[in-house]
Structure 1
Amino acid sequence: MQTRDPLRYNGFMKDTVKEIVRILAAENVPMPVQELAERTGFTPRYIRQILKESASENKAEGFSMESSFRKDVRLVIHDSSAFSAALTGSDASEEMKKEVLYDLLNRNDYVRIEDLADRFYVSRTAMDRLIKAVKEDLARFSLELKSRPKYGIMVEGTEKNKRLCYAHALTDSMEDTYSEQKMQALLYDVLNQNDYQISDLNFNNLVYHLLITVKRVKENRFIMEPIVLQQSYPQQEKIARELIRQISEIFHVEIPDEEINYVLLHLLGKEVITENSELDDEVMELTQKILMRIREVKGIDLTGRFDLTVNLALHLQPMLIRLKYHIPQENPLFEQVRREMTLAYDLALIAGDVIREVCGFVVNNQECSYLAMHFSLELSNLESESRNRQQKDKRYLLVCSTGRGTARIMQYRLVHEFGLNAENIDFGSSMTLRDKDLSGYRCIFSTVVIPFETAIPVIRINPTLDSASTERIRDFLKKETEDPAELFDDEHIISGVQFSSRSEILKDIAQRAGRYFESTELLYDNLIRREEMSPTEIGNECALPHPFDCLPSETVLMVYILNKPVRWENDKVRFVFFVSTSPDDPGRLSIIDGITKIACDRRLLKRLENNPCTEELRACINS
């Protein structure tokens, strides 16, 4: 059996220490080593080793884990700020899964699961769980974990797919800094000499793939299966050949010509297509089909947005090559995009449907998240333009008793501090106010008491616009804008309830909100379809379920606060926000933004949990 020191391997010890510390901190009492072993899935021997080996580093990070033989482990915090900083970081089980994946990809033979468990100092049960997760990762790269009785398990698939999976497992774990720097310099020079542009993210990604190629070739692991390209790419082939030549020379390895097309594929999928480049007519046609489908399904018209059309087409051209030749592209912002850009991510899923129908390629969630970033930017532009249009239609009357000069100063501050338009602020006096037609105004900002009732609100302010005045103005302008919470009533905030499953919650949503749709059954089917495309859990024990391609007669919002969390897909969920907006609702984007803001903020979630009512929801949205 292979041996290694598990405590000094790609920083895994540090992540394991964090897992143990979180358990001790949560329980707030000393715990036996055996119980810690059972909770983490490691062996008691491994726990004792970790306590010993991590002691000096733990002290530097503001804490220690004290124990003696046969005694409980106790967490002692010496520096609370340093301890809090040290406690943040990656999940140990995720890191362990990548370590196992790396181990299996480096083997040419079978290995028994029991031997893997011993090697990684975990129980057989814990290793079985890890193997299940590893199988899911392998499947993403068209690889299988072959099992043979009495022999064990082994990764089966093409060398190309193994390398792609290898890069996925080790992107953060390259330890040979010197080789990495040499490869970076080499790649930079070759790309620069050929005026070939790729992004910084793709540059680093390509460095990893080239280093993996060197490592695998040195181990006599070659790409044996032919990589057939459907057309010629003279520029990329020239660069690939030059890269192979220089890598062979600098790294003292003989790389066969069969590897050229593998490097060429990476170059094609990572190229930055600039606005000066020639865009393929088929890509432009596909872009228009995507935008028309979005208009049809979501009622959002992006078809005339020139910048979006061009940028989307520029992104699609190399993306389609990646999809055609199964070159994965991971987005480091994937979780943030899925969590914070919910509507944009839905538009990306629609784009993925169109690409599948037109090109026959399945667009994975990582690629969808890149598309979502383009849509998110354009949705922000749309919302800004909508606010500006609404602002132009809003007129205000300023009544000031201290003269026109002071009124001009106040007008200037209203424009620059509150975003009002100067041409929409008229001046008046209390003497002429009674006979003035106020139907075109939203409110009166007045430094004096108006001695009679008016048809529009009067906001009393000080001529110097002191803090109390600015607060009153700000409160009025917030209430004047579309308030998402106004769409709720207390019966749409459902707290203190319990469900046993995600499907049970979705059925309840469909029953309550079905009257806003063509039918309850259609809504439920649409909710299920959206979950199948990509689960709507976004972290913080929150989920934002919504229909994929059916629209309500009017905007509907509901909040569920569960007594106990329910397993959604990967995470447990206690807060469920159902959001479905009407295409005729001018405030639809701000509604989704407001709900997403609450779902991403633990402090706001706690407030809503403690006081589940419309008033608190409004306060959370406007905070």
Structure 2
Amino acid sequence: MSNARMKYILRELMTSEAPLTGEYLANLNQVTTRTTRNDVKELNNIILEYGTLIHSVMGQGYQLEIIDDHKFRLFLRDYFDEELPHGSRYPSIPEERTEYLIRRFLLSNHYLKLNDLADEIFVSKSTIQNDLKNVKKVLDHYDINLESRPGHGLKAVGDELKLRFCMAEYVFDRTEELQERLPEELFSSFSKKDKNAVLQIIVDEVKINDITLSDIAINNLLIHLLIAYKRIKDGHQISLYQTDFKEITEQREFKVADRILKKVEQTLEVTFPEEEVAYVAIHLLGTKMVSADENLNETNVEHLIDPTTRELVNAILIKIEDKMNLKINRDQELMVALGLHLKPAINRYKYGMNIRNPMLNDIKRNYPFAYEAGIIAGLAIEEHTGSEIDENEIGYLALHIGAAMERNKMNAQPKRCLVVCASGLGSSQLLFYRIKSKFEGKLEVVGTTEYYKLNQYDLSSIDFIISSVPIPDNISTPVLEVNAILGKQDIENIESYLNENEQSIYEYFRPELMHLRKDFDSKASVLRFMSERLQELGLIDDTFLTSIYEREEFATTAYGNLVAIPHPITPHSDETFLSVCTLKSPITWGGKPVQFVCGLSVKRNSTEDLQSMYEMLGRIIDSPALVQKLIKADTYEEFVKVLLRDKGT
């Protein structure tokens, strides 16, 4: 166990620019600070000879210093890849044991006894029995059962196709180079020369037939061919429903798959039944990609994506915009990327091919709101196709959405404002030109209008209104009130709005919605407390908490770094707000420790620009040093001061 803790500590120190306190690391591992001190000491002894050491910075915590980068890389390779004689790893935490047991069952042709499995990884039989619950959950996903035979043990039994999908996902570590990660236990008789030959056959055929596959897709296909070879040698056959089979044989990819397998048969001296051709064709259908044009416009989009997929992409983007207001629904690159991704992805869902996403945790932590949009996209896909989308696929959708969000940030145009006066052309024109000259390049003043004509003006492309008269609150566009003769304070107010500095932080974090350094021992008690306070203030109704739990069922909103951002999946309030609760001690939330809880609610039919709010929350999720300071803040003033300092205002 200390080994797993030390890896966690090392990973955190590697990814943090600022020192991390012992208390923070202890909370992450859910141990005492004394245990963490010992872990750091032991870790230091290990890494010292690899040109790396952990400094203890007075009053600030621990910081990693890498003196010899080459030596440190060698250390990481060895330390994070400790191999057992059988090519498997000594698993120390439940997740690792679950994966180990899945691999053992998938790779075994005979029954396995629980006592033997317990002895292999130095745990008790009762621990193994506990882990089997998780193993069964994973295998259920692939319709694979653990068949029990008295006196003999357990064996994985299921449809041959599903067994292979499961093997492809759990036997191989996709994050490493394929050629170096093929387990010898599975392919001891499979020479490197043969592996390379099969790889070359795949590459040649897809190239000749204008099927563009990513490197990951080619590696996946190679893995599956090797599994097919091994399984046929062991006497297993694959079976497909006849209706599916007929549909696949009519696809162009079936002919390509047939040519690939004929060449592989000659190389490996093995005979594949026709069903195996269909199986490879599913892979070509399930992973094909097309290169998009560099200069994208609506005509190109229509040319690249068929009408059905285009309709699905539009439905996804409308749903995301409706619920999150990310301003990415007109991004042509995103439309093409999603369209090209979804066409083969739908084939994957159709044939039960679930792909594993090795980047999933990183995506959740680094692009939390893109991941959130991915969940909304998944719901839209389910509504349109009836196929349930798992979180691996949501992660891939999030990457496309995250790229669009970054593009949106880079391409941000000056904010557009409308000047409103009571009446009189002279004063409105004076205000118009004064603002225009003062904020040249920063602000586009699109025009002026009298107050009584405001209801006739299309405000959809206006970011905010600058008005010399009071405007009722029922207008959805933000309003800045100024004097008709623009004064120094007015200019500062406009600048402050444009810079989104103090104003936005005070706007998002309101004193009545801050609950600092509280004593709660569970996720349920925190959420109950926060929703009661919000109800007292009249911000939510009694369906809000149920909606929060509905969102948690899709995937946890604990994003790592002790942060959770619970929120409903659909807008539930009449205004956008953040509600914060920090805790004296961490609680468990979706299997992760959490000490900073930030409830988020977006206004129904919001037209606000929420980019800066999402960016600020993303910065908190991404910064251990900032979270440490925020959870120590005792007062609202102290909390806000930490954020202002972090933003450099």
TM-score by length of 1: 0.72
The one-character-per-residue Cα deviations of 1:179-235 (angstroms, maximum 9, x if unpaired) are 443332221111111111112221222222222222222222221454624635442
1:79-478 equivalent positions in 2, closer than 5 A: 86=75, 89=80, 93=93, 94-172=95-173, 173-175=181-183, 177-226=192-241, 228-229=244-245, 231-232=247-248, 233-275=250-292, 279-298=305-324, 304-383=330-409, 387-390=413-416, 420=442, 454-456=488-490, 478=499
Shift of 1:320: 0.7
Cα 1:599/1:204, change in 2 over 3 Å: same
Distance (Å, rounded) in 2 between the aligned partners of 1:494 and 1:240:
60
The one-character-per-residue Cα deviations of 1:76-106 (angstroms, maximum 9, x if unpaired) are x999878987478588534443332211112
Which consecutive residues of structure 2, in runs of 5 or more, have no partner in the other structure? 12-21, 24-34, 36-41, 54-63, 82-90, 174-180, 184-190, 293-299, 420-431, 447-466, 469-479, 481-486
Distance (Å, rounded) in 1 between the aligned partners of 2:490 and 2:274:
79
Which consecutive residues of structure 1, in runs of 5 or more, have no partner in the other structure? 1-11, 28-38, 40-50, 65-76, 400-410, 425-437, 443-452, 460-472
1:499-578 equivalent positions in 2, closer than 5 A: 499-514=520-535, 519-578=540-599
State the partner residue of 2:610.
Answer: 588
Cα 1:557/1:109, change in 2 over 3 Å: same
Distance (Å, rounded) in 1 between the aligned partners of 2:602 and 2:568:
10
Distance (Å, rounded) in 2 between the aligned partners of 1:574 and 1:115:
40
The alignment status of 1:606 with 2:628, answered yes or no, reads: yes
SS at match of 2:646: helix
Larger CA deviation: 272-281 vs 137-146:
272-281
What letter is aligned with 1:214? Y
Distance (Å, rounded) in 1 between the aligned partners of 2:321 and 2:340:
21
Distance (Å, rounded) in 1 between the aligned partners of 2:617 and 2:357:
24
Distance (Å, rounded) in 1 between the aligned partners of 2:359 and 2:203:
25
The one-character-per-residue Cα deviations of 1:341-380 (angstroms, maximum 9, x if unpaired) are 3333233222222322222111111111222222223334
Shift of 1:610: 2.6
Shift of 1:398: 12
Distance (Å, rounded) in 1 between the aligned partners of 2:339 and 2:98:
37
Distance (Å, rounded) in 1 between the aligned partners of 2:153 and 2:585:
40
Shift of 1:579: 1.9
- Paired residues of 2:414 and 2:442 also in contact (CA < 8 A): no
Shift of 1:128: 3.2
SS at match of 2:559: strand
Shift of 1:584: 3.6
SS at match of 2:579: strand
What letter is aligned with 1:181? N
Distance (Å, rounded) in 1 between the aligned partners of 2:573 and 2:257:
52
Distance (Å, rounded) in 1 between the aligned partners of 2:418 and 2:396:
34
Shift of 1:386: 5.4
Cα 1:178/1:542, change in 2 over 3 Å: farther
- Paired residues of 1:482 and 1:587 also in contact (CA < 8 A): no
Shift of 1:325: 0.6
Distance (Å, rounded) in 2 between the aligned partners of 1:372 and 1:80:
36
Distance (Å, rounded) in 2 between the aligned partners of 1:525 and 1:518:
15
What letter is aligned with 1:361? S
What letter is aligned with 2:206? L
- Paired residues of 2:520 and 2:583 also in contact (CA < 8 A): yes
State the partner residue of 1:67.
Answer: none
What letter is aligned with 2:287? K
- Paired residues of 1:198 and 1:272 also in contact (CA < 8 A): yes
Distance (Å, rounded) in 1 between the aligned partners of 2:386 and 2:65:
59
Shift of 1:489: 2.7
Distance (Å, rounded) in 2 between the aligned partners of 1:359 and 1:397:
51
Across the two proteins, how many residue pairs are aligned to each other?
523
Cα 1:375/1:62, change in 2 over 3 Å: closer
- Paired residues of 2:357 and 2:392 also in contact (CA < 8 A): yes
SS at match of 1:521: coil
SS at match of 1:553: coil
The one-character-per-residue Cα deviations of 1:552-580 (angstroms, maximum 9, x if unpaired) are 22221122211222121221211112122
Cα 1:97/1:370, change in 2 over 3 Å: same
Shift of 1:127: 2.6
Cα 1:344/1:199, change in 2 over 3 Å: same
SS at match of 2:228: helix
Q: Provide the alpha-carbon RMSD of the alignment.
A: 4.4
Larger radius of gyration: 1
Distance (Å, rounded) in 2 between the aligned partners of 1:341 and 1:17:
26
Match among 519, 524, 527 for residue 498 of structure 1: 519
Distance (Å, rounded) in 2 between the aligned partners of 1:377 and 1:515:
40
- Paired residues of 1:19 and 1:92 also in contact (CA < 8 A): no
What letter is aligned with 1:289? A
Distance (Å, rounded) in 1 between the aligned partners of 2:394 and 2:98:
25
- Paired residues of 2:52 and 2:68 also in contact (CA < 8 A): no
Distance (Å, rounded) in 1 between the aligned partners of 2:538 and 2:278:
51
Shift of 1:383: 4.8
The one-character-per-residue Cα deviations of 1:283-328 (angstroms, maximum 9, x if unpaired) are 2222223333334444566554444333322221111111111111
SS at match of 1:548: coil
- Paired residues of 1:269 and 1:318 also in contact (CA < 8 A): yes
- Paired residues of 1:501 and 1:566 also in contact (CA < 8 A): yes
SS at match of 2:247: coil
1:33-48 equivalent positions in 2, closer than 5 A: none
- Paired residues of 1:485 and 1:621 also in contact (CA < 8 A): no
- Paired residues of 1:158 and 1:225 also in contact (CA < 8 A): no
Distance (Å, rounded) in 2 between the aligned partners of 1:574 and 1:618:
21
SS at match of 2:543: helix
- Paired residues of 1:541 and 1:573 also in contact (CA < 8 A): yes
SS at match of 1:567: strand
* Higher RCO, 1 vs 2 (CA within 8 Å, ≥6 residues apart): 2
What letter is aligned with 1:487? Y
Distance (Å, rounded) in 2 between the aligned partners of 1:423 and 1:364:
46
SS at match of 1:221: coil
- Paired residues of 1:294 and 1:347 also in contact (CA < 8 A): yes
What letter is aligned with 2:182? M
Shift of 1:384: 5.2
- Paired residues of 1:537 and 1:543 also in contact (CA < 8 A): yes
Cα 1:293/1:478, change in 2 over 3 Å: closer
- Paired residues of 2:364 and 2:371 also in contact (CA < 8 A): yes
Distance (Å, rounded) in 2 between the aligned partners of 1:304 and 1:570:
37
Cα 1:587/1:280, change in 2 over 3 Å: closer
What letter is aligned with 2:224? H
Cα 1:490/1:395, change in 2 over 3 Å: farther
Larger CA deviation: 474-483 vs 131-140:
474-483
SS at match of 1:562: strand
